[in-house]
């Protein structure tokens, strides 16, 4: 059975498939792109994970001025492992405090009741904390009785650390950056290089081009965040308490949403300066308000409605609920609905307003 010329031409010219393959080839031929997509997020996790790692309780260095009850004070403080206490002359103790070698200087005087003079630097938080801790320890040593008893319990479980809070935010940030820069910036660059003008002379439809660009970006964006999740799990012990499939679904939905937003931003821009300005205008509010590095609940109530409708806020909130709290995907339907609405509306508007030249 012979293949007709029409069938051969149809098989050879598949606009959607061709644009996807072209974008894939363009991507892996640029080594620097591989670094920014796969390497940079991991370096960011390493840096922030180390910076905000769980630290043991730091020991407080206390200098006691010689004379009076100095030895008794040192003995009372040394009974607790968190204090490092020693006796120094008044001048030497003040010098050590000024140069940061000590957190606090204590001068103890004798009398009917013990009296302590505390010298500390109010601009140093550790010095202020040392003053309160030492005062409490010395008063207890002098016989103060607390009405209520308390027992300290250290909480150091996976899921409650800053790194566990941070990873969903970084995932959302990565998806946002990949959608806007990887789709929007590339599309405008193709317009500047007159590549889109050449596509205009072909039977390719705008829907084929926009869908192809979006899908080709998803081929790299989704594996990028999965690599980030795996790295965080094995290096920092970040666990997913909810469904892994739910997390993957949210990642895919977020990737589609920000790819659509990137296409919308690039639909009319003709210069790199214009698209860069538009992308920064779109990204900056989400960088600041959506809770990447700290909870968006810190902002005043009056701006909360505006924050909640941002796509990055919805994505990060849903990811944190599933990953940290073990929430089901069904419980995140409001966030899923909001992301879906953003994806549909932005792609429809991009298709309507897109210009080849």
What contacts 92, CB < 8 A, 6 or more positions away? 63
Last residue of a domain, one of 141, 175, 196: 141
pLDDT at 66: 86
Instruction: Tell whether 44 and 73 lie within a shared domain.
Output: no
pLDDT at 13: 61
Report d(CA 310, CA 294) in Å as an integer: 16
DSSP state of 298: G
146 in any annotated domain:
no
pLDDT at 158: 54
Closest listed residue to residue 18, CA positions, set 28, 30, 26, 7: 26
Residue 281: in which H helix or E strand, if any? helix 272-289
Q: What pTM did the predictor assign?
A: 0.63
CB-based contact 248:61 (threshold 8 Å)? no
Number of domains in the chain: 2
300 in any annotated domain:
yes
pLDDT at 31: 58
Residue range(s) defining the domain that contains residue 121: 60-141
Last residue of a domain, one of 141, 169, 202: 141
pLDDT at 190: 81
Q: Is 33 helix (H, G, I), strand (E, B) or coil?
A: helix
Instruction: Tell whether 28 and 133 lie within a shared domain.
Output: no
Instruction: Tell whether 346 and 289 lie within a shared domain.
Output: yes
Instruction: Tell whether 29 and 82 lie within a shared domain.
Output: no
Report d(CA 247, CA 118) in Å as an integer: 53
Report d(CA 285, CA 312) in Å as an integer: 10
245 in any annotated domain:
yes
DSSP state of 62: E
Buried b (16+ CB within 10 A) or exposed e, 153-184: eeeeeeeebebbbbbbbbbbbbbbbbbbbbbb
Report d(CA 221, CA 58) in Å as an integer: 41
Instruction: Tell whether 36 and 66 lie within a shared domain.
Output: no
10 in any annotated domain:
no
pLDDT tens series, the chain, 357 aa: 455 555 555 555 677 777 777 777 776 666 555 666 666 667 666 655 654 555 555 678 888 888 877 888 888 888 888 888 888 888 888 777 766 678 888 888 776 677 788 887 776 677 778 888 887 787 777 666 543 333 333 444 555 567 788 888 888 888 888 888 878 888 888 888 888 778 777 777 877 778 887 887 777 777 778 888 888 888 888 888 888 899 999 998 998 899 889 888 888 877 777 777 788 788 888 888 888 887 787 777 888 898 899 999 999 999 988 888 888 889 899 999 999 999 999 988 988 888 877
pLDDT at 37: 62
To the nearest 10 degrees (0 to 180), the angle between helices 162-179 and 272-289 is: 160
313 in any annotated domain:
yes
Instruction: Tell whether 223 and 86 lie within a shared domain.
Output: no
279 in any annotated domain:
yes
Q: Is 236 helix (H, G, I), strand (E, B) or coil?
A: helix
41 in any annotated domain:
yes
């Amino acid at each position: 059975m012979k293949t007709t010329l029409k069938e051969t031409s149809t098989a050879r010219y598949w606009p959607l498939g061709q644009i996807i393959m072209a974008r894939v080839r363009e991507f892996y031929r640029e080594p620097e792109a591989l670094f920014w997509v796969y390497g940079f997020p991991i370096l960011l996790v390493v840096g922030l994970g180390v910076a905000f790692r769980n630290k043991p309780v730091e020991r407080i260095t206390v200098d006691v001025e010689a004379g009076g009850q100095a030895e008794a004070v040192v003995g009372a403080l040394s009974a607790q492992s968190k204090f490092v206490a020693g006796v120094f002359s008044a001048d030497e103790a003040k010098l050590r405090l000024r140069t940061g070698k000590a957190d606090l200087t204590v001068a103890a005087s004798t009398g009917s009741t013990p009296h302590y003079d505390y010298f500390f630097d109010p601009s140093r938080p550790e010095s202020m904390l040392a003053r309160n801790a030492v005062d409490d320890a010395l008063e207890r040593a002098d016989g103060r009785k607390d009405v209520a008893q308390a027992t300290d319990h250290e909480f150091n479980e996976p899921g409650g650390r800053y790194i566990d809070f941070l990873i969903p935010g970084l995932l959302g940030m990565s998806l946002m950056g990949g959608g806007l820069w990887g789709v929007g910036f590339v599309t405008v660059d193709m317009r500047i290089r007159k590549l889109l003008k050449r596509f205009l002379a072909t039977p390719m439809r705008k829907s084929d081009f926009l869908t192809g660009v979006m899908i080709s970006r998803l081929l790299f964006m989704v594996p990028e965040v999965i690599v980030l999740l795996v790295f965080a799990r094995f290096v920092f012990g970040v666990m997913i308490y909810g469904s892994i499939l739910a997390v993957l679904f949210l990642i895919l939905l977020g990737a589609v949403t920000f790819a659509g937003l990137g296409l919308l931003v690039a639909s009319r821009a003709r210069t790199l300066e214009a698209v860069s300005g538009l992308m920064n205008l779109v990204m900056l509010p989400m960088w600041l308000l959506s809770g990447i590095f700290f909870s968006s609940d810190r902002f005043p109530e009056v701006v909360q409605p505006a924050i909640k409708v941002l796509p990055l806020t919805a994505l990060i909130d849903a990811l944190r609920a599933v990953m940290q709290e073990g929430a089901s995907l069904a419980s995140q339907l409001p966030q899923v609905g909001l992301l879906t609405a953003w994806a549909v509306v932005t792609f429809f508007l991009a298709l309507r307003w897109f210009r080849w030249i």
